[in-house]
Structure 1
Amino acid sequence: MTNNTRTIPKWRKAVANQSAVEQAILELVNRARLDPAAEAARYGISLNEGVPADETISTAMKQPLAMNDTLLSVARAHSQDMIDRDYFAHDEPGGSDPFERMTAAGYNWDRAGENIAFRSTSGSVTPAMSLQLHQDLFVDSGITGRGHRVNLMNPDFQEIGVGQAQGVFQGSNATMLTEDFGRPGANHQFLTGVAFNDTVTADQFYSIGEGRAGITVSVSGGPNTASGTAGGYSEELTAGLKTITFASGDQVTAAVLTATIAAGFNAKIDLMGQSTIRTSVSMTAVSGISSIVGLGTNALTLTGADGTQAIYGASGGDHLDGKAGNDTLDGKGGADTMYGGAGNDAYYVDNAGDIVSESTAGANGSDIVNGYISINLSDGNHFTGNIENVALRSAASINATGNSLANALNGNSGVNTLIGLGGNDTLDGKEGADTMQGGIGNDTYYVDNAGDHVIEANGQGADNVQAYVSFNLSGQELESLQLRSAASINGTGNSIANIINGNSGNNIIDGLLGADTMSGAQGNDTYYVDNAGDHVIELNGQGTDNVQAYVSFNLSGQELENLQLRTGASINGTGNSTANIITGNSGANVINGLLGNDTLSGSTGNDTFVFTTALNASTNVDHITDFSVVDDAIQVDNAIFAALGGNGTLTAAQFIKNTTGLAGDGNDHIIYETDTGWLYYDSDGNAAGGSTHFATLAANLALTNTDFVVV
């Protein structure tokens, strides 16, 4: 690799007709010039590594180079000559130097330079090998003074010829590259760019095979040109505000914009696909443009047209204006100012100096800030107008604060703090152990990490937690809890009246203090009831459910199967029409299974088992598992057991026990079959029939009439 530079004579402009490889190398050269520091970082070097102090390269954006057809021809000829005559030098053997070749070809210059490089292989030359030559020249390893890099970054150059040839060189297959740089004198400026479809690599950058030929590039005040076979175009034009139109060729709808061309400074404007403009200068979309992408490090003003579009800034402090429509605005690097206008706009914020405004006339809609740093919508220095929503991006532990509106604040995979302030907010920390505080308003929280913490003070609205993990409302003024997903997770209330809903898993739901409403939904759920005002809801087909009650509780009206009385208090349990399992505690319990074939256990204590529903030997027979003739009683309703007459202890004449289960005389209405433990009610009191099995006790109990009470 070697370079050469000189200053002297004057100007000529031409339209380029480069190959796809040459166009791709030009794009790499201009990428480097538009953001020199980024190019150096891409190759893992310092921008001024190896560069002499008197040729220091600034990080400032350099004007993009326009392909010149004369320089292109000169560069190609030199590359081919080096292959044909098997030499590698700026000066031809016994012939001209680069500057003489440029002048002889008719290019009048006042500054010029040249880079040359080659790569060889024993195999076939590939396009990738040719493109690698750009990196070789930029890194410039082993070249004293890094002159190739200095040429590439020379801010005075405005035009270039990229000439690539391949053939046998020094016994190997080689790709040879000559880059001839020039400036035609003062007061010239060029519009350059490329029309391409980003379909080969889909990387938002030109690649070989993506060029679009025959796209007419019209500039107000002329001249006009068209993209070449590789998609590139260049033209000289006067400075000032220009209307630029891309049309014809395979362009379905003309893409029209206005841009200001600065005197003595080139502009690069690309057409990517049908409607994306990539620009190194400030511009305003007129029609046919869906996306604008800023290039370089200068601060650009990029303005859309009414309608839906995406605008992406460059790495400077850009000004983006989406106008009306649902716009996406991303300033990229630098402290950017973004205006969404009317519509549902999405902003991307990655710099502490970024400003987002929804305060312009007509601005409305539901807008979202995608934050790569902490976001505070109530910070009037950086966020103005009605901005509703925040989504934290990346994995950093950053935070989001809302404003007085109904905000939706979404975290990321880091540890976030989300603060809603006023309004009915929705807060979702996503992954990570997040802290969420809704503030005033009826707020909704999404909890998916066991380390998530929700903060609500008294008087701040009716708030709801949507939990994907077990969650406890205790210690916060949270009113309702919904268990999500299908996992078997649990929900616990607090001291106020909560609404707690389960999911399709097997949930444990405990409202704690307060008159709570609990619904387990599908799954085999367990409820803890400690307030007479607690209400449990279960529908048919939603599993086998259990109530753990610290107060008297009635299963009636709900599809609840089981009831366990807790503590040592004398509380009562009542079933429903299904087959219930009801278990008492150590107190004196009154247990009534109602309809269904129930299993009743009193545990210790003086318990009373109650029968108040119509008898049916198939569907309404209760099993009392632990009846004690010393402590317990059986209470029957004389409306059902009508033959028993009045109230009080069952008379001795109305009770009989035997092994047949049959009445002995006309007064034997309650029959205990000792060998089976079955209890019968015989309405006519004789062995002629009419007895109904209504309960089962243990066999061979010392049961007497005094164990029964009629009410």
Structure 2
Amino acid sequence: MTLMASEQYLVELINRARLDPQQEAERQGIALNKGLPQATNGTVWPRITTEAKDPLAVVDVLNRSARIQSEYLGKTDYFSHIWKDGTDLDARLAMAKFNFSGSIQGENLAGYSRGLKGEALMDKLHDSLFASATHRSNMIGMDFREIGISQLGNSKWDYLTENFARHASTAYVTGVAYADKNKDGFYSIGEGQDGLLMRIVGGAADRTEAAGGYALAHAVGRAVTVDIGPSGNMARVQTSLADGNVKLDVINGSLLRVSGDVTLVSGIADAEALGIGRINLTGSDADNSLTGNNATNRLDGMEGRDLLYGAGGNDKLSGGAGGDRLFGGAGNDVLDGDGLNDMLDGGTGNDLLRGGGQNDKLTGGAGADGFEFSQRFGGDTITDFNLRENDTLRFDDALWDGRMSARQLVNTYASVTKQGVEFDFGKDGILLLEDVRSLGGLADAIEIF
């Protein structure tokens, strides 16, 4: 069953909440576990944690069972999980031909008097479910992987049914393809892109529906290669279902927003991490743009002239071959330029910057930053070295012969020039501390390894 665009929008709201529960709670102005009971009618409600949960994949059988319930609500206005004749969720799932083997399941219901439509209606229904503790637990607390949605109305009410499930042996590559016409960084009604081929190599294949959604089932725990796009011009990425579902959203045909580790193989050069999970992004031989989230990320540009942005968290950024630009953002980051002429900016936090070979421009940013240099480091410039911020210089003792103290190192290799303090290690490289006008105190800021 094909989702309406408004239903796909609701799926995106739910998955945004699951990928960062605390942010959604703050957006809603509700504590994560406010009002959540220990148990109701034999159902135990575990505490909702702030960790990212599996993004939910839309599956037809749950769409059918949700539709059965919403049609009943619309016909009877009897708002209950159990019908007047005793039909319950399990019975409706059986009607829809659901496979109960190795599964758990749940259901949310919401209603709103007529008057809203589109995104406004879905926002209202989503907010009302989040405000209810047990519905909130189903939405972002339970270990579900699958969802079905049905929103129907009558002359008085709009009804919404959300059916959830998880099969222990199955995980999904799932997501939505859309053109971000309003440039808000989120799916909106009318932006879905249909007909895009999504295929696990050697596994399931699907085309994005009219609203843009898709889901590819696969055995849990496996690494997978995913082809994306028109059959004559496929992009390829690699990911893993070791931890459950992975969300791969395709935006404007050229950007992936992902909830799990991804390696860009070909075709699509840009990727951004969704949610709050620890996500690693690896580029290709193209000029990649990789952006982390507020967790700890590892970003590897590989070949090409790459742009890496760590955002929040304590990240590790590696430019790889090519002239790269690395931005740590917030957090205590490690930035490695590797080869060619790179630009490194640590941002806020206590960062460690290594330019690598060639001529690099290094900016520590706010915080106590370290700058590390080994043999053949090239000609590097530190733009903001500041003793008052407890910045440090780390030198490999292979840069000189014999043993040498930090003070001897300064006396031997450092001098004050018009541009600043310069360390000249001959064939191994020259380091300029831009606008530093004195050698005083430098020895105390040097570490030798």
Shorter-chain TM range is 0.7 to 0.9
Distance 1:221 1:41 in 2: 42
Offset at residue 402 of structure 1 (A): 6.4
Distance 2:10 2:438 in 1: 62
Paired position in structure 1 for 2:403 = none
Paired position in structure 2 for 1:177 = 160
Give the alignment partner of residue 174 of structure 2, picking from 180, 192, 201.
192
Deviation per CA, 1:465-517, whole angstroms, max 9, x where unpaired? xxxxxxxxxxxxxxxxxxxxxxxxxxxxxxxxxxxxxxxxxxxxxxxxxxxxx
8 Å Cα contact 2:291-2:310 kept in structure 1: yes
Residues 1:159 and 1:340: Cα distance change in structure 2 (over 3 Å) = same
Residues 1:458 and 1:22: Cα distance change in structure 2 (over 3 Å) = closer
Paired position in structure 2 for 1:234 = 215
Offset at residue 276 of structure 1 (A): 1.0
How does 1:426-437 map onto structure 2 within 5 Å? none
Deviation per CA, 1:191-229, whole angstroms, max 9, x where unpaired? 2111111113x1222111111101111111122111111
The answer as to 2:29 corresponding to 1:50 is no
Distance 2:352 2:97 in 1: 60
Structure 2 counterpart of 1:228, one-letter code: E
Where structure 2 has 5 or more consecutive residues not aligned to the other structure, the ranges are 39-44, 374-378, 395-413, 422-434, 441-449
Paired position in structure 2 for 1:320 = 299
8 Å Cα contact 1:407-1:420 kept in structure 2: no
How does 1:85-234 map onto structure 2 within 5 Å? 85-109=76-100, 110-121=103-114, 123-140=115-132, 146-169=133-156, 174-184=157-167, 186-200=168-182, 202-234=183-215
Structure 1 counterpart of 2:356, one-letter code: G
Paired position in structure 2 for 1:385 = 356
Distance 2:54 2:306 in 1: 29
The answer as to 2:418 corresponding to 1:442 is yes
Offset at residue 69 of structure 1 (A): 0.8
Distance 2:352 2:25 in 1: 35
Paired position in structure 2 for 1:246 = 228
Offset at residue 399 of structure 1 (A): 7.2
Q: TM-score, length-normalised on structure 2?
A: 0.78
Structure 2 counterpart of 1:25, one-letter code: L
Distance 1:198 1:307 in 2: 23
8 Å Cα contact 1:421-1:439 kept in structure 2: no
Residues 1:441 and 1:40: Cα distance change in structure 2 (over 3 Å) = farther
8 Å Cα contact 1:328-1:346 kept in structure 2: yes
Deviation per CA, 1:532-574, whole angstroms, max 9, x where unpaired? xxxxxxxxxxxxxxxxxxxxxxxxxxxxxxxxxxxxxxxxxxx
The answer as to 2:46 corresponding to 1:30 is no
What SS class does the counterpart of residue 317 from structure 2 fall into? strand
Offset at residue 298 of structure 1 (A): 3.0
8 Å Cα contact 1:421-1:440 kept in structure 2: no
Paired position in structure 1 for 2:447 = none
What percentage of residue pairs aligned between the two structures are identical? 33
Distance 1:375 1:443 in 2: 24
Distance 2:204 2:372 in 1: 52
The answer as to 2:294 corresponding to 1:301 is no
Aligned residues: 391
8 Å Cα contact 1:125-1:175 kept in structure 2: no
Distance 1:115 1:37 in 2: 20
Residues 1:256 and 1:439: Cα distance change in structure 2 (over 3 Å) = farther
Distance 1:160 1:455 in 2: 60
Distance 1:235 1:254 in 2: 17
Structure 1 counterpart of 2:295, one-letter code: G
Residues 1:28 and 1:400: Cα distance change in structure 2 (over 3 Å) = same
The answer as to 2:333 corresponding to 1:354 is yes
Structure 2 counterpart of 1:260, one-letter code: S
What SS class does the counterpart of residue 155 from structure 2 fall into? strand
8 Å Cα contact 1:213-1:231 kept in structure 2: yes
Residues 1:50 and 1:59: Cα distance change in structure 2 (over 3 Å) = same
Paired position in structure 1 for 2:53 = 62
Distance 1:245 1:281 in 2: 16
Paired position in structure 2 for 1:516 = none
The answer as to 2:240 corresponding to 1:260 is yes
Give the alignment partner of residue 383 of structure 2, picking from 409, 422, 426.
409
Q: TM-score, length-normalised on structure 1?
A: 0.51
Give the alignment partner of residue 283 of structure 1, picking from 262, 271, 276.
262
Residues 1:410 and 1:28: Cα distance change in structure 2 (over 3 Å) = farther
More divergent stretch after superposition (216-225 vs 343-352): 343-352
Distance 1:358 1:313 in 2: 17
Structure 2 counterpart of 1:187, one-letter code: S
Offset at residue 37 of structure 1 (A): 1.7
8 Å Cα contact 2:306-2:324 kept in structure 1: yes
Q: Which has the higher helix share?
A: 2
Distance 2:280 2:294 in 1: 12
Where structure 1 has 5 or more consecutive residues not aligned to the other structure, the ranges are 1-15, 141-145, 378-382, 423-437, 446-453, 460-711
Structure 2 counterpart of 1:39, one-letter code: E
Distance 1:347 1:458 in 2: 29
Residues 1:419 and 1:280: Cα distance change in structure 2 (over 3 Å) = closer
8 Å Cα contact 1:375-1:390 kept in structure 2: no
What SS class does the counterpart of residue 21 from structure 1 fall into? helix
The answer as to 2:373 corresponding to 1:373 is no
Deviation per CA, 1:318-355, whole angstroms, max 9, x where unpaired? 22110122211122332211110122322222344321
Offset at residue 296 of structure 1 (A): 3.3
8 Å Cα contact 1:275-1:289 kept in structure 2: yes
Higher relative contact order (CA 8 A, sep 6+): 2
What SS class does the counterpart of residue 407 from structure 1 fall into? strand
Paired position in structure 1 for 2:405 = none
Distance 1:214 1:136 in 2: 33
How does 1:615-630 map onto structure 2 within 5 Å? none
Deviation per CA, 1:9-47, whole angstroms, max 9, x where unpaired? xxxxxxx62111111111111111122122212222222
8 Å Cα contact 2:362-2:380 kept in structure 1: no
Paired position in structure 2 for 1:501 = none
Distance 1:316 1:157 in 2: 22
More divergent stretch after superposition (268-277 vs 50-59): 50-59
8 Å Cα contact 1:66-1:158 kept in structure 2: yes
8 Å Cα contact 1:439-1:456 kept in structure 2: no
Offset at residue 102 of structure 1 (A): 0.8
What SS class does the counterpart of residue 168 from structure 1 fall into? coil
Distance 1:67 1:441 in 2: 64
8 Å Cα contact 1:402-1:409 kept in structure 2: no
Structure 1 counterpart of 2:145, one-letter code: Q
Offset at residue 370 of structure 1 (A): 5.1
The answer as to 2:324 corresponding to 1:345 is yes
Paired position in structure 1 for 2:4 = 19
Offset at residue 372 of structure 1 (A): 2.9
